Amino acid sequence: MKITQDDLESWKASPETMFVFSLIDLEIDEISREITEGRTINQDSAHATAIKTAGMVGRIMGLRKLKDLEIGED
């Protein structure tokens, strides 16, 4: 199946997709809040702190990537 950029833009504009994207935005906000409130900090291990923080940042990046999908040219 071939999807065009126009197909993708129509999908992104649908009410169902916009609702899911709003849930994704809430998840991004919650993860960001956890990071800024220091909930990734492990008092006993800087390494554990770094791993947990990096994982949460990776989740944010992945969620943003999903929202920013584009169809590349062949």
Tell me which amino acid residue 18 is.
M
Question: In the block, which residue shows the tokens 């994704």?
Answer: 24
What's the CA gap between 41 and 32, in Å, rounded? 14
What pTM, to 2 d.p., does this model score? 0.86
- pLDDT of the residue at 73: 66
- pLDDT at residue 74 in the model: 55
How many other C-beta atoms can be found within 10 angstroms of the C-beta atom of residue 12? 13
Mean pLDDT, each 10-residue run in order, the chain (74 residues): 91 97 98 98 98 98 94 70
Q: What is the pLDDT of residue 45?
A: 98
pLDDT of 14 reads 97
CA distances from 56 to 11, 12, 28, 29, 62 (A): 27, 25, 9, 11, 10
Confidence at residue 68, expressed as pLDDT on a 0 to 100 scale: 93
C-alpha radius of gyration, the chain, whole number: 17
